[in-house]
Structure 1
Amino acid sequence: MKELQDIIKKHEKANENNLKSALVTVVHLDGSSYRRPGARMLVNEDGKITGAISGGCLEGDAQKKALFTISEQKNVLFTYDTSKEDDSEMGIHLGCEGLIQVLFEKIDSEKKDNPIELLRIALSLRQKAVLVTLFHLDNKEKEQLGTCLLLQEDGTISGNIPLSLFKNSILGDLNEVMNNEESVFKQYKSGQESVTAFFEFIHPPVSLVVLGAGNDAIPLMKFADVLGWDFRIVDRRDTHANKERFPLASQTLVANPDVALNYLSYDKRTFFVLVTHSYKCDYYFLKSLCAADVPYVGILGPKKKLNRMLGELKEGGVSLSQAKISTIFSPTGLDIGAETPEEIALSIIAEIQAVLKGKKGGMLTLKEEVIHSRDSLAIQVELVKN
């Protein structure tokens, strides 16, 4: 998310300086790679790069191809084979063992629904979205259609499908991708004509709400900013919850724990962390959150503190289901031996990321299977009748 935010900002700056740009996107992958489909970088005609499509090994060559795209004003699809022992084109052995399909798109800032504008729309509202990118995987000499359509959660569609032959089929698959909340690849065929579509599901940004504006909340703010997460801070003390101490916060709320949630918006991408260092404040915050449908409530402190709060809640007539209790993490954070505020913040952010992705947060060196499942990269084929 942070990468897309930076790309949009840099493109706006390039426009102000009358610089042309090209968008470089990983649109498919066969095998393994450092980055997944949806990884992007922006290249301006002065050669400056924002974002990345690999761990650094492809960017130099991709920059040259992006500058060619800007010069020729022509979209190009290129395959990087990172499995070659002697890659004469790249000059190095990349070792990732994958075929990476990379799309280079010219950006016409005068065009209302250019790729950057579609990304900007996708990120401007806190909604789910599906972005459609079309390319000819079987014939790289054909005109590559590129990023062309965006569906937002409220049903708004921006852009258009430039292929009338496959338009209805693609539009029909949009809602399915939105409902399943998973990116997919489809190839549409009719006679000798075909096109591959990358349906990219885009989640709203993560929102991190920290309840308690002590010094240990500051590194949480900094980590959230690096990741491109929305960050909000809540405390009953205006000497602590203020813009001077938390300049990167989108909201600084001064409110008592028992009523704070009345002034906060939240959804299933909102994560709460309680770091008030006050049992009473944590208790009332947790009590308020009992009815909230959120995926994560982290509480700083020992397990016995949580058990005490759950006991008092039950005595007060608030009985939590096991499903609700499973969303409460206390002590909050992964076990990485954290002691300092920065280390504790790192462990909390890492645990939130694990919960977000449905992972357990173990060591990758102990993982026997591949890091990322390759099932999601399969291209579904659909035959379209004329």
Structure 2
Amino acid sequence: MSDILDIPHAQERLQTLGWIARHSEAFHHLPPPALEAWLGNPAAAPATQQDWQVTVQSGAASVKVQQLSALDATERQALFAGLPAPSGEAAPFAWAHRALCRQGVRVQVAASADATPVRLHIHHTAHNAVDAPLLVLDVAPGARCLLLHTHSRGADLAQITQNLHMHIGLGEGAVLQHLRIADVHADDHLAHTQNVSIQGHARYHQALCTSGCAYQLQRSDVDLHGPGAQVRHAGLLITGSLNVDQQVYTRHNAPGTDSHVQMLALASGKSRSVANAFTYIAPGAQDANVHQRLWGIALDGQPRLILRPHLEILHDQVAAVHGATWGALPEDALFYAQQRGLDPATARRLIIEGKARALLERALPGIEGDEDSASALLTQWLEGDWLAQAITAHLTKDEV
């Protein structure tokens, strides 16, 4: 196992495997930059600042945080302990990450004595132009957690290349509601890869909000391992005139499992928006329930909207629904809004914001017994100006 964790071994694996092939099924719609862009200078000294900040807003007694250096052999072993070896089409990203990773954080959430949800804010700050951070989050059996996950960069970094990896595990009966904000700049190159393992009767709900940039991959690999495991994934892709590729791969490995994937891509100009939902139902996953819904809205120009729902079903006793819809903003809604005295730009902005809010609210319905918790988390974030600024910057052609 130690050779898998070793930096020279990761570099050797990259040389052996090569980079993402141009004909790769998962990446041919939006090919990533060459390998050299993701490696930077592995010998460069790490930033003196901590890249990760974990704020426990409630339930501190149930949370354990370890900030670990990937350049120290002992701490690197602890940081990567128990993580799977890279595999599949995205493996080159994982090997590039292990070759460059300097820092990471492991967060463990235990069940609280009174069953109240733990509230966390995990924030990452990029201090290097080429960045390879790692987050490992373990939610113990029976634990309940609300997580706000955000990003920023040092003031001197106008452009970053970031290869972020996240490993999330939910124990039996655990609940995690996760609001993730990927705040990017136009020239950035980002690859955010998430591996999620969900045990029996555990529930994982995530809402992702991101705007477009030169290259962006948002990839989630989700395994439903135990009976009754559930996942909800929503992606709000405010592409504008730039690019986003969201890939959600879900595997139903047990009976009675449930997955919902919804993506809304809002695009303009000559951008490329890829919404790729792939769900696999194993032979033993009877009574699995699958829902995939992908929307693409072209606001102006001639953006490329690639919506790819896909099911592979190896059991007869399942319920599965999938669909993809693309078009423009509804003319009747714009007409009625303007009839109420709104100018065209304001009408467009309000309709777009309404669709975005509805998507996010469906993804974070609240934790059973504390239904207002997730809505409070979402409302608190929406009271900021990220969503309004993203819509104004990327999506309203009628405004200066």
TM-score by shorter chain over 0.5:
no
- State the TM bucket, normalised to the shorter chain: under 0.3
- Name the one with the larger helix percent: 1
Q: Look at both structures and tell me which one has the larger radius of gyration over its CA atoms.
A: 1
TM superposition score normalised by structure 2: 0.26
TM-score normalized with structure 1 length: 0.27
